[in-house]
C-alpha cells in the first residue's frame, strides 16, 4: 500500500460515484437502523501494480454544522490524512463559490492536488475545463464518473504524485 488519497468537493459533484468506481464495488454500508443506508467512506484502490487507501470525505458528516462549515471540516480532514487529494468539481455547473473556497484551502496546504472536472460526459461539457484553470491548482483533468471516462488517467496522475 502506497499511502492515502482523499476525495474532496462540494455536495453532488460525483464524489461517491467516483469513489465507488475506483474501489470497484457498489456496496453501501447499511446502518443498524432499518431503512438507513450510509455511504461507504473508506476503501482500497488497486491500479496496475499499485494500491492505496482512499477516503470519500463527503461521507463524513458532522452533525449540527452549517453546510459551508461541514465542507471546511472535510477539507481539513483530507489535508490531515492524505498524501494526495483529488478535488472534484462539475463541468455542468462550472466554477462555484464553494469550489474557490476549497481551492484556496488546498493551495495553502501545499499538499499535492489532482483537480478533476467531473460530469464531462461529452465534448461540449469537456470544453468547460478551461474555466477551472482559474482555481490555480494546475491542469484540470476531465472525467465522467457516470461513464467511467478519464479515470485511468486520473489514477496515473495520483500515483505520479504519491
Ligand atoms: P457526491 O455528493 O459528490 O458524492 O455526488 P454523487 O456521487 O452522489 O453524485 C451526485 C449526482 O451526480 C448523482 O445523481 C450521480 O448519478 C451524478 N453523477 C455523478 N457522476 C456523474 C457524471 O460523470 N456525469 C453525470 N451526468 N452525472 C454524474
Ligand atoms: Mg457522496
Return the pLDDT at 62: 77
List, in order, residues 6 or more apart from 22 with CB less than 8 Å away.
43, 45, 54, 151, 155
Return the pLDDT at 20: 92
Q: Reply yes or no on whether the pLDDT at 107 is more than 60.
A: yes
- Taking alpha carbons only, the member of 13, 19, 61 closest to residue 38 is 61
pLDDT-derived band at 87, boundaries 50, 70, 90: very high
Class of residue 116 by CB neighbours under 10 A (exposed 0-12, middle 13-18, buried 19+): buried
CA–centroid distance, residue 39 to ligand 2 (Å): 7
List, in order, residues 6 or more apart from 151 with CB less than 8 Å away.
18, 21, 22, 143, 145
- From 12, 17, 122, the mutation candidate for ligand 1 (largest count of ligand atoms within 8 A of CB) is 17
CA distance to 57, 65, 154, per residue, from 70 (Å): 10, 6, 26
Q: What is the pLDDT of residues 124-162, one digit of tens each?
A: 999 999 999 999 999 999 999 999 999 999 999 999 999
Q: What is the pLDDT of residues 1-42, one digit of tens each?
A: 889 999 999 999 999 999 999 998 655 555 555 555 567 899
Name which of 57-61, 79-83, 151-155 the model is least confident about: 57-61
CATH code where residue 71 lies? 3.40.50.300
| ipTM, two decimals | 0.99
Mean pLDDT of the chain: 92
* Atom 2 (ligand 1) nearest CA: 12
Domain count, the chain: 1
Of the ligands numbered here, which is closest to the C-alpha atom of 146?
A: 1
Three-state secondary structure of 53-77: EEEEHHHCCCCCCCHHHHHHHHHHH
Ligand 1 shell residues, CB under 6 Å: 9, 11-17, 58, 118-119, 121, 144-146
Domain that holds residue 14: 4-161
Amino acid at each position: 500500500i502506497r499511502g492515502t488519497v482523499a476525495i474532496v468537493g462540494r455536495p453532488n459533484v460525483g464524489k461517491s460515484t467516483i469513489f465507488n468506481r475506483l474501489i470497484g464495488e457498489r456496496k453501501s454500508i447499511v446502518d443498524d437502523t432499518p431503512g438507513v443506508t450510509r455511504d461507504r467512506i473508506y476503501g482500497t484502490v488497486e491500479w496496475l501494480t499499485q494500491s492505496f487507501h482512499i477516503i470519500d470525505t463527503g461521507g463524513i458528516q458532522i452533525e449540527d454544522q452549517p453546510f459551508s462549515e461541514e465542507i471546511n471540516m472535510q477539507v481539513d480532514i483530507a489535508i490531515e490524512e492524505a498524501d494526495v487529494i483529488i478535488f472534484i468539481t462539475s463541468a455542468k455547473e462550472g466554477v462555484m463559490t464553494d469550489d474557490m473556497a476549497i481551492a484556496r484551502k488546498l493551495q495553502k496546504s501545499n499538499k499535492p492536488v489532482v483537480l478533476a472536472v467531473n460530469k464531462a460526459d461529452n465534448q461540449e461539457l469537456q470544453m468547460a475545463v478551461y474555466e477551472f484553470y482559474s482555481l490555480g491548482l494546475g491542469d484540470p483533468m476531465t472525467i465522467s464518473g457516470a461513464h467511467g471516462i478519464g479515470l485511468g488517467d486520473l489514477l496515473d496522475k495520483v500515483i505520479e504524485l504519491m
